[in-house]
Chain A
């Protein structure tokens, strides 16, 4: 089992008020799955995603990633998981504005202590994979929204992570570019990548093979969708 979550809780304290962002979530994800997490805003889907990505630590409950318990790990161990096991794609891309596409994609490799020459090669390969082989020297402000998200995708994939975590990856893209992006996701899943997608758009979630719905920090439905061929 790639992800094994049991009774996960995340409680924020806002002054006197306790906010139960996650209230006892159970979730299991196997390698190669294509999962969409859905729910209205405030349902806890982003919190769940941050916990899966080890950006955050739960208040209680257990989380096993690749059968390894994640709770109670030190900063440098969590950093290592974020670096090697998880690839993030954000709604707002979160690229370094002053750095070129190549340098952005190299970032995780720098923190993985990959030597410079090998780093360039891997980053270039990753950019070619997402169809940006001819844009490696461009800075984010010289790229379109779709191209920026592809750079972010290349950055997420460059360390060959166990899970690709995408938080509203098409939220800032027009419908045509969104469609192209989803094709890319489908292809990546077909190639064996595990994808966890957070979205509130039904048509985006429709690409996934399994949809988990959250409401008020709880899983309210978890159903598999019939396998379908990647759109071309």
Chain B
């Protein structure tokens, strides 16, 4: 019975191809918009998640926190120093590795070439903490840090820009005003949002402090790695305890620093993308509403056009519910077909859109987005198809048969 109705519906839709297409345009646009936006947003989300998973669940970042409106911080010099990090690494038992990050823009020279890049002053455990490793050569040793050695490790972009060639290791670079020996080349990180992540030069954090002065080192970022994923929370508590003691923060006052766990970063990026998604959902809701009214309109026309058919069906034994179901299925079929076209169009738009924006990650269409697209299309069909179908089922058989 349902299958027969479905066949009748397809027949009716086929008989009015152009009209059916125009009718479902609202649904098509609505569903296509959902799929396109969700696919692009999910592509972004996917990339961010992959990036953060690369760092690992044991990653912990500590940042300074300064807020002129916070009375707890009033009159206080907010600092976060290398010594803070060393103290945490020494006393917090749940911490495995520690590496500070000092960063600034810097110009690097090699022979007659020069390149503006990002300089990072890091600790000896930078590789482990950030899961970013030396590809060739070696990383900094504790000795390099103790001696404040003039050694550097470069990213692949520096090798290219300065044309270091195959003899990159051992080359002498001028960083700022000082000469540095290249001891290693970092592995490739690739791009994120069109930004190369291989355009960087690493030097020991202690050397950086020599170069740029202690004043520039009052506010560092401190990266840690907990021993295990289970100990991340414990590590955070220990960090807070050590830092509050060192910064002499009285009981009841707020921290002058922030501890960020990897999963919190994921949550933050997720919530931003979630906001984007819900705004789009609103727009799409309007499109589907318009599409639904289109369906209702055309179904009313269809009921009028087929008044005689309804009369015939009633004369040979169709009950009211049979007619109701027939036209309801026709409306749902119409909007589902719109949903199919919309999903395909939205998918294509998402893929093309992600490609058109330089450096954008590839689109990623999750199954739930497709399901939501179809679900809404079907819902619109049922909702806006009910009134015309009810109208059809209530027709008087004799008047319907007489209808010209």
A residues at B contact (CB < 8 Å): 50, 53, 55-56, 75-76, 79-80, 82-84, 88, 90, 94-96, 98-99, 107-108, 110-113, 155, 159
A80 to chain B, nearest CB (A): 7
B61 interfacial contact with A, CB 8 Å: no
Whether B398 lies near A111 (C-beta < 8 A) is no
- A108-B316 contact given A55-B398, A96-B309, A113-B1, CB 8 Å threshold: yes
Asked if residues A110 and B1 are in contact (CB atoms below 8 Å), the reply is yes
21 sample A-B contacts, Cβ–Cβ < 8 Å, listed by A number: A50-B398, A55-B397, A55-B401, A76-B320, A79-B322, A82-B317, A84-B317, A88-B315, A88-B316, A94-B311, A94-B401, A96-B312, A98-B12, A98-B15, A107-B312, A107-B316, A108-B316, A108-B317, A110-B4, A111-B318, A111-B319
Nearest chain B CB to A121 CB, angstrom units: 16
Nearest B residue (CB) for A77: B319
In the bound assembly, the distance between CA atoms of A35 and B398 in angstroms comes to 22
The distance from the CB of B138 to the nearest CB of chain A, in whole angstroms, is 77
Flag whether B308 is at the interface (Cβ < 8 A): yes
**Closest CB in chain A relative to B215 CB, distance in Å:** 86
Which residues of chain B have C-beta atoms less than 8 A from A84's C-beta? 317
Distance in angstroms between the alpha carbons of A155 and B313 in the assembled complex? 11
A56 to B400 Cα, complex, angstroms: 12
Question: Bound complex: CA of A153 vs CA of B25, how far in Å?
Answer: 42
Closest 3 CB pairs of A and B: A83-B317, A111-B317, A79-B319
Q: CB within 8 A of B315: which of A80, A82, A112, A113?
A: A82
Could you tell me the distance between the alpha carbons of A99 and B306 in the complex, rounded to whole angstroms? 13
B401 partner residues in chain A, CB cutoff 8 A: 55, 90, 94
Shortest Cβ distance from B317 into A: residue: A83
Q: A94-B311, A94-B401 are in contact. Are A75 and B4 (CB under 8 A)?
A: no
- Give Cα distance in the complex from A194 to B320, angstroms: 28
> Whole-angstrom distance from the CB of B303 to the nearest CB of chain A?
15
Contact B315 A94 (CB under 8 A): yes
Closest A residue by C-beta to B14: A98
Other-chain residue from A53, A79, A98 in contact with B11 (beta carbon distance below 8 A):
A98
What is the bound-complex CA distance between A230 and B321, given in angstroms? Answer: 42
Q: B311 contacts A79, CB within 8 Å?
A: no
For B4, list chain A residues within 8 Å (CB): 110
Known contacts A94-B312, A98-B15, A113-B1: A76-B398 contact under CB 8 Å: no
CB closest chain-A residue, reference B397? A55
Interface members, chain B 272-326 (any A CB < 8 Å) = 308-309, 311-322
Known: A107-B312, A111-B313. 16 other contacts (CB 8 A): A55-B314, A55-B401, A76-B319, A76-B320, A79-B314, A79-B317, A79-B320, A80-B319, A83-B317, A90-B401, A95-B312, A98-B11, A99-B11, A111-B316, A112-B317, A159-B317
Residues of A within 8 A of B322 (CB): 79, 111
Residues of B within 8 A of A83 (CB): 316-317
- Contacts A50-B398, A113-B1; is A94 near B320 (CB within 8 Å)? no
- Chain A residue nearest to B393 (CB atoms) is A75
> Chain B residues near A94 (CB, 8 Å)?
308, 311-312, 315, 401
A112 vs B317: C-alpha distance when bound (angstroms)? 8
Interchain CA distance A108-B313 in the complex, whole Å = 8
| Residue interface bits B320-341, CB-to-A below 8 A is 1, else 0 | 1110000000000000000000
